[in-house]
């Protein structure tokens, strides 16, 4: 990027409209100062039936999980609601040209098992099954092939003496603030994902508040609780933590309502995730 070009490698500069949007990043200049969190109870009965039917068909090379279906549901939302794919850095608003979801996969459900970072870039032309297959392959390869490139990068830094590591981290944060970090420091890093998902239901835990980070560009974290039944229908609690500076409360609420509508009509997931989705809110 040129010296006077406001765009970044990972985002296009968006000129804010309205006085609140202009002033907000100066009043709340840190992401953690502007984070809000709330929990929604989602009806996923139809979504679960959709997954069960696909798996019983015997046509899938890789089993689709409820987690994958939830990711696909939000894939439709994030391709339709572009403000959710924005971030604020150095008091400026940027919008990514890609949608990426990040999560952690454990080798085994034990205290000492390794954790693998998975950053899944969504393909707008894929449907839910195609996205699910790629997610399953990424997890399988990560567990069986060991660390990825970003894991190797982190491992290198851990070998440095503390005083040198502190200086390097400070310099990396400076680069991050201005969008100058090289790709090898950002690709595969959850802190640069559109959304960080934490599937706490996989360890039989409830959804919970999860803080945002100052480092990177991630503006939304979603934790997923344990699937449970209410009146014979499967439901799940989803807790959202987000940077309220990227959009107003009405926009966020409407986006959540869209996600619920997609989950109630999962047949739309057979189409490409970037489809234009319309519903009566």
Q: Give 122's Cβ-side CA count (13 Å radius).
A: 28
Looking at residue 110, what is its pLDDT?
Answer: 61
Pair 236, 263: CB distance under 8 Å = no
Looking at residue 59, what is its pLDDT?
Answer: 81
For 95-116, the pLDDT digits (tens) are 999 999 999 887 665 665 667 7
Distance (Å, whole) CA 87 – CA 270: 30
For 151-207, the pLDDT digits (tens) are 667 777 778 888 888 898 899 999 998 889 888 888 888 999 999 999 999 999 999
Name all domains of the chain by residue range, CATH numbers in brackets. 12-270 (3.30.559.10)
Looking at residue 185, what is its pLDDT?
Answer: 84
Tell me the average pLDDT of the chain. Answer: 90
Task: Give the helix/strand (H/E) hosting 115.
Answer: strand 115-121
- Mean per-residue pLDDT for 210-233? 96
Of residues 104 and 71, the one with the higher pLDDT is 71
**Residue 3 above 60 pLDDT?**
no
For 225-259, the pLDDT digits (tens) are 999 999 999 999 999 999 999 999 999 999 999 99
**Residue 33 above 90 pLDDT?**
yes
Helix, strand, coil shares of the chain, percent, nearest 5, are 45, 20, 35
Alpha carbon distances (Å) from 59 to 50, 56, 131, 267: 14, 8, 15, 17
pLDDT bucket at 215, cuts 50 / 70 / 90: very high
For 125-159, the pLDDT digits (tens) are 999 999 999 999 888 877 676 555 666 677 777 78
**Residue 267 above 90 pLDDT?**
yes
């Amino acid at each position: 990027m040129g010296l006077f070009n406001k765009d970044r490698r990972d985002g296009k500069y968006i000129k804010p409209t309205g006085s609140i949007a202009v002033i907000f990043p100066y009043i709340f200049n840190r992401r953690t100062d502007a984070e809000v969190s709330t929990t929604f109870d989602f009806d996923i009965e139809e979504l679960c039936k959709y997954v069960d039917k696909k798996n019983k068909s015997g046509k899938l090379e890789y089993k689709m999980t409820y987690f994958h279906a939830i990711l696909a549901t939000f894939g439709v939302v994030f391709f339709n609601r572009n403000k959710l794919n924005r971030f604020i850095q150095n008091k400026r608003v940027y919008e990514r040209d890609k949608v990426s979801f990040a999560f952690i996969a454990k080798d085994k459900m034990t205290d000492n098992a390794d954790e693998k970072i998975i950053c899944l870039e969504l393909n707008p032309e894929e449907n839910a099954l195609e996205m699910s297959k790629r997610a399953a392959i990424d997890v399988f390869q990560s567990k069986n092939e060991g660390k990825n490139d970003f894991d190797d990068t982190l491992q290198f830094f851990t070998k440095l003496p503390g005083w040198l590591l502190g200086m390097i981290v400070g310099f990396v944060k400076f680069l991050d603030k201005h969008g100058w970090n090289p790709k090898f420091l950002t690709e595969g890093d959850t802190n640069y994902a559109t959304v960080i998902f934490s599937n706490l239901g996989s360890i039989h835990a409830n959804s919970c508040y999860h803080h945002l980070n100052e480092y990177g560009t991630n503006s939304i974290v979603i934790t997923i609780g344990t699937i449970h039944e209410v009146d014979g229908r499967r439901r799940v609690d989803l807790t959202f933590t987000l940077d309220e500076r990227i959009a107003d409360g009405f926009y966020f609420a409407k986006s959540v309502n869209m996600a619920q509508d997609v989950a109630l009509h999962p047949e739309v997931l057979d189409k490409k995730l970037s489809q234009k989705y319309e519903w009566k809110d």
